[in-house]
């Protein structure tokens, strides 16, 4: 499958794994942060399937990633350090490096979901989201691209600069939320790892990293912005990404629902809270991001040498 190939991690030693970031998953010249997250998930999964196979902990439960510098399409190495190995839950530290510099670092927690036991308290339908998601007729969307509440986004929205978006089909609300609910945005997505023109396929677990970073923008542009400011191409690089995975994506899942909420955009920095549900309304994952708003030229600028300081 195209996605497994694009995030494949090959062991170099017991704690290092080679990866190759695919240009087809880039925003401008920078691989999408969610795709990078999925690649790190793949590398850590490989670590738990090989070096730490004795633990029997195949599932990523949570991760916290700091994006230190821009990544780029091409070869990289993920180095995994065993921090805390336990019978139920284990924690490792993962570092993605390219060209001799560390670009992403973070902690990843693993366990075995099939052996998880303890207190469970049922939540409200759709996890109590307010306002509740509008109902959707998947058969109508498949047949005509539209139902009473949702429509398939036009492919024209996926530009050359944002080609990393091409691996999802986005279904958006027909009516933008009321002004009183400004600050959140909804979408349904289908997985298309082969890009535009390729068929959709069921989601795989590693794709959750990509899904949580392909969020709909949850804020509206200020009426005080000039037309030039509104039209200027923007880049939204991830600074920090936290991911809490509640359960595996059920086999055969064709659709995932995503709600993104933003509390404030301030001085070119904004927060994002992401909720991902499956078709039955079960919670798959929660994610929190710290993200910047930058001009697209920052994305395309020449990269600094490894010896030079700088985050982006």
Residue keyed to tokens 């109902």: 135
Positive or negative, the CA dihedral 258, 237, 202, 78 is: negative
Per DSSP, 216 falls in state P
pLDDT (average), residues 157-186: 81
Cβ atoms 61, 111 nearer than 8 A: yes
Residue 143 has pLDDT above 50, yes or no: yes
pLDDT digits (tens, 9 = 90+) for 44-63: 999 999 999 999 999 999 99
Query: How far apart are the C-alpha atoms of 243 and 265, rounded to whole Å?
Result: 21
- Residue 210's nearest CA partner among 167, 251, 253 is 167
pLDDT (average), residues 176-199: 81
Does residue 1 carry a pLDDT above 70?
no
Structure token pair of residue 301: 């600028």
At 231, is the secondary structure helix, strand, or coil?
helix
pTM: 0.92
CB 87, CB 57: distance < 8 Å:
no
Q: What mean pLDDT is reported for the chain?
A: 91
84's tokens: 């805390």
Around Cβ 164, how many Cβ atoms within 10 Å? 25
Multiple choice CATH, 2-113+127-300, 2.40.160.210, 1.10.3720.10, 3.40.50.920, 3.30.930.10: 2.40.160.210
Q: Residue 160 burial (CB < 10 Å; 0-12/13-18/19+)?
A: exposed
Looking at residue 25, its pLDDT comes to 96
């Amino acid at each position: 499958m195209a996605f497994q190939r694009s995030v494949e991690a090959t062991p170099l030693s017991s704690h290092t794994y080679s990866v190759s970031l695919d240009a087809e998953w880039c925003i401008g010249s920078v691989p999408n942060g969610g795709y990078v997250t999925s690649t790190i998930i793949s590398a850590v999964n490989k670590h738990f399937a090989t070096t730490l196979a004795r633990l029997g902990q195949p599932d990523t439960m949570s991760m916290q990633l700091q994006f230190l510098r821009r990544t780029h399409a091409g070869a990289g190495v993920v180095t995994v350090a065993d921090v805390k190995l336990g019978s139920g839950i284990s924690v490792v530290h993962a570092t993605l490096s390219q060209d001799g510099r560390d670009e992403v670092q973070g902690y990843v927690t693993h366990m075995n979901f099939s052996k998880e036991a303890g207190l469970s308290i049922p939540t409200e339908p759709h996890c109590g989201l307010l306002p509740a998601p509008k109902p959707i007729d998947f058969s109508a969307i498949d047949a005509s691209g539209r139902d009473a509440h949702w429509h398939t986004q036009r492919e024209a929205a996926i530009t050359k600069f944002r080609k990393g978006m091409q691996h999802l089909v986005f279904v958006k609300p027909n009516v933008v939320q009321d002004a009183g609910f400004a600050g959140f945005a909804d979408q349904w997505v289908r997985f298309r790892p082969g890009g535009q023109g390729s068929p959709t396929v069921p989601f795989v677990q590693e794709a959750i990293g990509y899904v949580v970073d392909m969020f709909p923008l949850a804020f509206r542009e200020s009426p005080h912005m000039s037309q030039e400011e509104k039209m200027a191409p923007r880049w939204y690089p991830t600074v920090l990404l936290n991911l809490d995975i509640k359960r595996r994506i059920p086999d055969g899942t064709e659709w995932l629902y995503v709600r993104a909420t933003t509390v404030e955009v301030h001085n070119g920095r904004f927060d994002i809270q992401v909720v991902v549900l499956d078709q039955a309304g079960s919670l798959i994952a929660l994610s929190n991001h710290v993200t910047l708003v930058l001009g697209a030229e920052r994305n395309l600028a020449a990269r600094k040498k490894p010896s030079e300081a700088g985050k982006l």
